[in-house]
Structure 1
Amino acid sequence: MLVQNVETSTVTTQHREHITNNNTEVDIMHVGPNTSLTGSLQLKTTDIVLEIDLLGIAQNNNGSASVVLLTSNHLHTVFNNSHFHTANVKRTYMGAKVVLIGLPQAMVKTLSKPINLTFQHFNVSDPADKPACVYWSEGAWATDGCSASESNSTHTVCSCTHLSTFAMIMQTNPTTESDPVVEALGAFFVLVGLVFLTLALLTFALCRRNSRVTNMARLNLSVCLLLAHALFLLTQTTLRLIQPLMALCKLLAGVLHFLFLCCFVWMSAEAVLLFLSVRKLRQIKAKDRTGPHWRYKLLIGYGIPLVIVAISAIARPDGHGSDKCWLVTENGFNWSFLGPVCLILSGNIILFIIIFLTIHTTLKSARSEASKVKYTRLLLFKIMAQCVILGCPWIFLMASKESRVLEVLFVFLTSQQGTVIFLIHCLLNDEVRKQYATWWQNYVSSKLQSGSTSVVLTAMTQQSSNSQTGHTSLNTYTEAEPDKGD
């Protein structure tokens, strides 16, 4: 009745009503064509503040509009967090009162600007807890069009692009229930993988002129893996400090998203380069250099992941920054990473089949050098193994939330990608083993030379010392002889 009276009033400037009883509190504002109001309007009830551009709404509604802000002391017990379904958290609770906002009898209810709702928390919240701004839609709480723009332990500001019944639900941090033994094992696995990946990268850098040891794609793949795993280890070991800093958490998730996509793109680029070289096996004198210029390789290897991450961030600004500073799984946003990965792996499988058939045909026709075909076939199986160890562990990521064993298996396999690269491209490579032997022989010979030099110097020092001692004794004897004669 109060809302109806305000709406049907003949006030052409502005009129405000505020009513409070034991259970409900209402704040109503009406503006007419002759209002003196300028800027955004603030409506307030206990624990709630609404900021809305009522003048912008009135301009599309014959110059007048009304807004209602209603809060209840008990609605949150009925429309509670059990109606909020999310996959990436284990526990939720109602963080503030339920709020209803409406534009009674307005012909146009489109907002000219998003509204800002400031909720006061029921209790001081844990800094690690994550607020979710939700609205009531078809019997459940939904998050579309609403996001938390600011939050601290006592207040949360929600920005929404539409009007409805709103609430603020706190999501507890699942990492507080994580197993410290699993975390320690994960950090140890990643550290071991980083050591072997560093050794592989040093080997590739020192043998960069040998095409049978490394190429541009393999070198960039190792660099991206090293940066991604190092950043992942840093993020997970300092997760409790990073989580309250939402902007930093989103930035780290975006960078990890980019680096891991770069790994898969460079892995695919290596398969493409192998395919291009296999096509020339039928020529007896095939050129060693295949593929586009290195500038175009860099543009493809880093440009494609950058475009994917940028489009994902624009389409879902809240998609980066989950409870573990990774991709949010709600609404399938994690497929912005898994989708390109599946596409790349599928393309690699097709390329491997074509390469295998080409090698088989070349062997039957004997149109190429046997050594070149043998080397290409060995390289094919090495890159296939590399593709498997880089791609298949991510399958466990989708099921790791349900099983601790799969989570440990995923962390172990992904952390040892650098170990596998060092094994198949360094230890199992004849050229690298020969180079390792040469380096070791040079090291041993230098040690022997330095050792022999030190022995000679020591001998010369001792000889000089003995000479000086003998000369001193002789002088002593000569000086003592006259005394003895006397």
Structure 2
Amino acid sequence: MVLNAAENILKTSSSSVNPDELAFYGNRVLKANEKLISTLVKPTDTNDSVSFTLAAVEVEVFMVGPKVILDKIPRLDTTNSSVDIDLIGIAKNNNETRSTAAVAFMSYNTMENLLKPDFFNTSNDTIKSMMSTVISATLPKTTNTKLTKPVNFTLKHIKEFDPNGSLSCVYWNISEWIVDGCSVLKTNSSYTVCSCVHLSTFALIMQTSRPSEVLCAVISGVLHFLFLSGFVWMFIEAVLLFICVKNLSQISSKKREVLSSGFLCVIGYTVPLVVVAVSAVVDPKGYGSEE
């Protein structure tokens, strides 16, 4: 019931709360799920496993005891991800306590609605998108949780792969996605293998440059110039019409010299050009859009 309730939070909260509250809700869901999953771990002499699938999360739990005879545990798989972990080595580190060592692997189907890729803070102004489901790996009810070797996560891409983008294996650190301790081991158009030296909540985030950003700014500036030119020429036409009506005769030769076509062209195009140039200098980011 709690896991299904978490799914409702994921669907309804992300559109109505600020980023701080999203992170708060995300942390609450993660902690609640980890506590619940830890209750599945039971003492065993050899090995045991539990798995189930709900709308919100897929769970794989594997346990090994002091008398385990396996050389290594099988890969833990969910629909869009898998994990390779040396649980046997971790269990050997717990031999002194003769306790069970267990790994819990969870794949969240809609967690990116709370722990958004925008929480990945980088110096570059890029578009960030979640390329995998959010996953978590923990060692519940395990006395010695020190890893004997890095853990490898295979993450299936859930969006179209952009070969020009930059992929990052990240983990959730209370309020942001960071890359410390994680790296891309292998990648292709379908999946990416991440190697991490610690367990946490992980995801795969791609950064891409903002498409046609310069072109968009140029087009915006040109449109601004053209609209202003239209207004200036309308003003010039109004002035000429006023002069003609007022004099009820042809414009005098002196006025024709002042209002020559060359002079009018200078006025009609120079004024809007100056306005656009000043606008671009005062607010360089004013033209174009981030959308």
Shift in alpha-carbon separation, 1:94–1:61, aligned structure 2, 3 A: same
Would you say 1:38 and 2:68 are equivalent positions? no
Is the alpha carbon distance of 1:28 and 1:176 closer, same or farther for their aligned partners in structure 2, counting shifts above 3 Å?
A: farther
Question: Shift of residue 2 of structure 1?
Answer: 6.7
Q: Distance in 2 between matches of 1:158 and 1:178?
A: 34
2:47 matches 1:23 = no
Q: Which residue matches 2:114? A: 78
2:85 aligns to what? 52
Q: Offset of 1:36 from its aligned partner?
A: 2.3
Unaligned runs of 5+ in 1: 180-402, 405-486
State how far apart, in whole Å, the 1-side matches of 2:38 and 2:201 are. 19
- The aligned counterpart of 1:368 is none
Instruction: Output the CA distance in 2 between the equivalents of 1:138 and 1:2.
Output: 19
Alignment of 1:315-464 (within 5 A): none
One-letter identity of the residue aligned with 1:136: W
| Per-residue deviation, 1:43 | 0.6
TM-score, L = length of structure 2? 0.57
After superposition, residues 245-256 of structure 1 pair within 5 angstroms as none
Aligned to 2:225: none
Instruction: Spell out, residue by residue over 1:118-156, the C-alpha distance to the aligned partner (whole angstroms, 9 max, x if none).
Output: 111112211111211111113111110001111112101
What is the DSSP-based 3-state SS (H/G/I as helix, E as strand, rest coil) of the residue aligned with 2:75?
Answer: strand
Distance in 1 (alpha carbons) for counterparts of 2:85 and 2:141: 17
More helix by share: 1
CA deviation after TM superposition for structure 1 residue 174, in Å: 5.8
CA distance in 2, matches of 1:68, 1:21: 15
Task: Give distance in 1, aligned partners of 2:187 and 2:213.
Answer: 23
The superposition leaves residues 165-224 of structure 1 with CA deviations (integer Å, 9 ceiling, x where unpaired) of 111111114697577xxxxxxxxxxxxxxxxxxxxxxxxxxxxxxxxxxxxxxxxxxxxx
Work out the percentage of aligned pairs sharing the same amino acid.
37
Q: Does 1:140 align with 2:176?
A: yes
Cα distance in 1, alignment partners of residues 51 and 73 from structure 2: 19
Backbone CA RMSD of aligned residues: 2.3
Query: For the structure 1 residues 178 and 34, does the alpha-carbon distance in structure 2 shift closer, same or farther, using more than 3 Å as the test?
Result: farther
Mapping for residues 58-137 of structure 1, pairs under 5 Å: 58-62=91-95, 64-137=100-173
Larger radius of gyration: 1
Change (3 A) 1:143 1:55: same
C-alpha deviation, 1:105, in angstroms: 1.7
Tell me which amino acid in the other structure corresponds to 1:15.
D
Structure number with the higher strand fraction is: 2
Cα-to-partner distance string for 1:259-294 (whole Å, 9 max, x where unaligned): xxxxxxxxxxxxxxxxxxxxxxxxxxxxxxxxxxxx
Off by >6 Å, runs of 4+ in structure 1 = none
Q: Structure 2 regions of 5+ residues with no counterpart?
A: 1-34, 216-283, 286-291
Counterpart CA distance in 2 for 1:36 and 1:47 is 29
Secondary structure, counterpart of 1:93 in structure 2: strand
Answer yes or no: is the 8 Å Cα contact 2:41–2:61 preserved in 1. no
Paired residue type of 1:148: V
Contact map agreement 2:38 2:141 (CA 8 A) in 1: no
Change (3 A) 1:149 1:123: same
In 2, the alpha carbon distance for the partners of 1:176 and 1:38 equals 54
